[in-house]
Every structure is written in C-alpha cells, then in structure tokens.
Amino acid sequence: MSLDCLQTPCLLLDKQKLLNNINRLNKQLTRFNVTSRPHLKTLKSVDAARYMLGDLSAPCTVSTLQEARQFAQAGCKDITYAVGISEHKLPEILDLQNQGVTLHIIMDSFEQAQFVHAFCRENDCQLSCLIEIDCDGKRAGIKPDDPQLIAIAKILQSAGLFSGILTHAGGAYDCRSLDEIRAMAQQEQAAVRDAASKLQRHQISCDVISVGSTPTALLGEGFDQVTEVRAGVYASMDLVMADLGVCQPEDIALSVLTRVIGHNKEKNWLILDAGWMALSRDLGLAPQQNGYGRVCDETGDVLPGLYVNSANQEHGIVALPEGLDLSHFTIGTLLRILPNHACATAAQHAGYQVISDDEMDYWPRFGGW
Ligand SMILES: Cc1ncc(COP(=O)(O)O)c(C=O)c1O
C-alpha cells in the first residue's frame, strides 16, 4: 500500500503488528489462567482499546482522570486508576462511580487512607481501594514488611473500602538480560504474595492481587495467587522493549512517517521533516543507543545502522554511515522512524494513521489530564 497520500510527519499504526502483540500477551495470560487488565495509557485511543480489551466493559487500567473519563464514556466499566490518589481528585472519582463505573484507586500511605475514609463517610459512599506495594524500590508503594501496610489496610477495611494490593515492577526496565527480567517477574509476584500473607494474618483478605509491566507480564511464570496482570506498552511495543529483548524491532507497531527534505552534502546527512516535535525528546534506555529513533524504509524494514542522530523542533538529522550515499534518498523519500518510547512519541500526535494490507483508517487519540 502506498503511503504517498499521507502528509508528513504523521504517526502510523500497523494493525497486524498491533493484533499480533495483543495476541501474544493474551496467550501468555491464558496459559497461566490470569486476568488481563491492560493499561490504556500508551495509545489513549478508544479504537485501540477495543482490540486490547476485546469487550470495552472488560477490566482496564489508566494513568490519568482524562483517560478514566474518556474510556468510561466509551463503555469501560471496570477501571483501575493506577497513580497514587490525592484528595482533590476524589469528587471526580465519585462522579464517575455514580455513572456506573467501578474505579479502583491506589494509595501507599496512612494519610491517603484517612482522607479517603473521611471522604466516603462525608459523602455516604464507598470507593474500591488498593494498597500499592513497592516490589523494586524504584518508585512508589509500601514495602510488604512495613508495619504501615496493616495500619492502612485496617482503616480501609473498617469502612469496607479495602479491595486488595497492586504493584508495578518498573525496575524491569533496568534489567540487562531476559533472565534478569524473569527474576524481576518473580520478585514482583513474591512481593504481593508476601504482602497478601501478612494481611491474611490479620484476617484481611485481598480480592485483588494485581501485578504488571510489559516485560514481567510477557516473561513471568506461575502467577500463583495473582488475580490480574497489567501491561500497557505491549500492544505497540517500542525500541525500549526491543533493546530489553522483550520483542524484535520488527514487532513495533508504531512509527513516525517522515520525508527526506534535504541533504547536507558536506556531512553526508539526511534532513527529515520529523524533529523532536514528531518523535519526542525521549532517548529511551541509553542515550545515543538509538538516537531519536531507528530508521526504516517506507515499507517498515529496518535500515541497519541508520538512526535519527539529532533532532531540532521540526528537523531530524540522519548521519549516513560511510559507503551509503545521499543519492539513495532523494528529496521526498518516505521513511519510517521507530519510537524509543511509544507513550512519549504517541503523545506528540492527535491520532494514528492505521495501516493494514489494503486499508487505511484513522484512529483519534486524546491527551491532557
Ligand atoms: C502502575 C502501572 N501499571 C502498569 C504499567 C504498565 O507497564 P508497561 O508500560 O511496561 O506495560 C505501568 C506503566 O508505567 C504502571 O505505571
């Protein structure tokens, strides 16, 4: 299919690759008989969510209230807002709940449990609360052996607000081999099992035991006692996932379509019409590894050794390796750039040009909070 009709730069979503990636996770989780609660924050698209969830009323995860609103309006009914709660967000959470959505919120402090408890008493309502567990020391959450865990669970349980626990092994992104990721997946699961058994000793049981990141979801084994797995970037994949070894560059469904708009003959550089506004400034795992993205030809085949080495606002620069001549890339040549970090690149665009064998479609996406 010719992409020549498209204005550049724009964001391409390869539908077959998207579906393959979604099938891969679904197969893995079916194998372990554990529920999928996909994170919808990467693509922020109702059309994409339909494929990720199968049925929009299936469990999903979001990272902003904007996502919660948009996906609730589209028909999502069981949403985990997986970012620590602050008091000023509670009225809107209740609003969504009153529209028939179950919106699980997360917290990792006694202070949060107290203001949620007070809010529910004042408003004569119930919210579903999950305690965030720290499984890797990388971000938020409470360690399974922190005595505060029991204190937080008790205040929530006393008002019927406690649903369970959740953790996210963001540390998987720092792993250097697939074996390290497998070990991180075990560590992630062990942390929630440990927290759940400590709670059980105080007669507090967890209906929800939630884990997840794309690397640990795809490489994890067992999932004993885990009730659900949250993965997000698995649907599109990106160069971070490819560099971790979780996928191949060929599996990445997202790319920025760009045209060659100039040559710097002295330096043997191609100038593209995709700068950091189209690609984002995210350099991925290791600065310089992939520059601002890996270069593919119009059909999506990776061109070995070609990267967007630097980026201005609307210009990308590809330094051609020795032996490769600018004449291979006449002005107007279409290229695709694979993103370092899908969430960041997608956020630069208003929607996706969805390409499949013989069809083109447009899926809008949203941003904001
Ligand atoms: C709380 C939480 N759960 C799940 C995910 C999904 O992780 P990934 O993007 O690796 O699939 C994220 C991603 O940041 C997250 O913050």
| Residue ending a domain, choose from 234, 261, 292 | 234
**Measuring from atom 3 of ligand 1, which residue has the nearest CA?**
168
* 11, pLDDT greater than 80: yes
The set of residues, in sequence order, having a beta carbon less than 8 Å from that of 70 and lying 6+ positions away, is 44, 46, 366
* 249, pLDDT greater than 90: yes
37 lines ligand 1 (CB under 6 A): no
Same domain, 164 and 221: yes
What distance in Å separates the CA atoms of residue 139 and residue 62, rounded to the nearest whole number? 17
* 289, pLDDT greater than 90: no
Mean pLDDT of the chain: 96
Compute the residue count for the chain. Answer: 369
> Residue 357: in which H helix or E strand, if any?
none
> Residue 162: in which H helix or E strand, if any?
strand 162-167
CA of 76 to the centre of ligand 1 (A): 19
What distance in Å separates the CA atoms of residue 213 and residue 38, rounded to the nearest whole number? 10
214 lines ligand 1 (CB under 6 A): yes
81 lines ligand 1 (CB under 6 A): no
Same domain, 52 and 193: yes
For 157-211, how does the pLDDT look when each residue is reduced to its tens digit (9 = 90+)?
A: 999 999 999 999 999 999 999 999 999 999 999 999 999 999 999 999 999 999 9
Write down the pLDDT at residue 314: 97
* 213, pLDDT greater than 90: yes
Same domain, 230 and 93: yes
**Measuring from atom 15 of ligand 1, which residue has the nearest CA?**
168
* 285, pLDDT greater than 90: no
Q: How confident is the model at residue 288 (pLDDT cuts 50, 70, 90)?
A: low
Residue 194: both structure tokens together: 């440990």
- Bridge-based pairing of strands 35-36 and 228-229 is parallel
What distance in Å separates the CA atoms of residue 112 and residue 101, rounded to the nearest whole number? 22
Find the domain containing 138 and state its range. Answer: 32-234
Residue 339 Cα to chain centre, angstroms:
13
Residue 172: both structure tokens together: 């998987």
Q: Rounded mean pLDDT of 301-318?
A: 96
Same domain, 92 and 215: yes
For 146-159, how does the pLDDT look when each residue is reduced to its tens digit (9 = 90+)?
A: 999 999 999 999 99
Q: Given the CA of residue 217, which atom of ligand 1 is nearest to it?
A: 11
- Residue 24 covered by a domain: no
* 9, pLDDT greater than 90: yes
Q: Please state whether the peptide bond connecting residue 9 to the residue before it is cis, i.e. omega within 30 degrees of 0.
A: yes
345 lines ligand 1 (CB under 6 A): no
Same domain, 224 and 309: no
Same domain, 113 and 258: no
**3 state DSSP class of 219:** helix
Q: How confident is the model at residue 97 (pLDDT cuts 50, 70, 90)?
A: very high
- What single letter denotes the amino acid at residue 256? V
How many C-beta atoms surround the C-beta of residue 225 within 10 A? 13
CA distance to 133, 167, 199, 248, 310, per residue, from 181 (Å): 19, 15, 27, 16, 31
- Residue 18 covered by a domain: no
Same domain, 41 and 82: yes
Q: How confident is the model at residue 284 (pLDDT cuts 50, 70, 90)?
A: confident
Domain of 120, CATH number, reads 3.20.20.10
8 lines ligand 1 (CB under 6 A): no
Q: Given the CA of residue 106, which atom of ligand 1 is nearest to it?
A: 1
Residue 48: both structure tokens together: 């994409």
* 260, pLDDT greater than 90: yes
Q: Rounded mean pLDDT of 116-123?
A: 97
171 lines ligand 1 (CB under 6 A): no
- 């006694």: which residue's tokens? 110
Write down the pLDDT at residue 2: 86
Domain of 342, CATH number, reads 2.40.37.20
Same domain, 213 and 287: no
Same domain, 109 and 46: yes
User: 145: alpha, beta or left, given left = phi > 0 and alpha = psi -120 to 50?
Assistant: alpha
Same domain, 66 and 113: yes
* 365, pLDDT greater than 70: yes
Please choose, from the candidates 68, 79, 352, 67, the residue with its C-alpha nearest in 3D space to the C-alpha of residue 236: 352
Residue % of the chain over a pLDDT of 90: 96
Same domain, 124 and 258: no
Same domain, 217 and 314: no
For residue 256, the cross-strand partners are 11, 337
For 27-72, how does the pLDDT look when each residue is reduced to its tens digit (9 = 90+)?
A: 999 999 999 999 999 999 999 999 999 999 999 999 999 999 999 9
Q: Given the CA of residue 83, which atom of ligand 1 is nearest to it?
A: 1
Q: Given the CA of residue 216, which atom of ligand 1 is nearest to it?
A: 10
* Number of domains, the chain: 2
- Residue 352 covered by a domain: yes
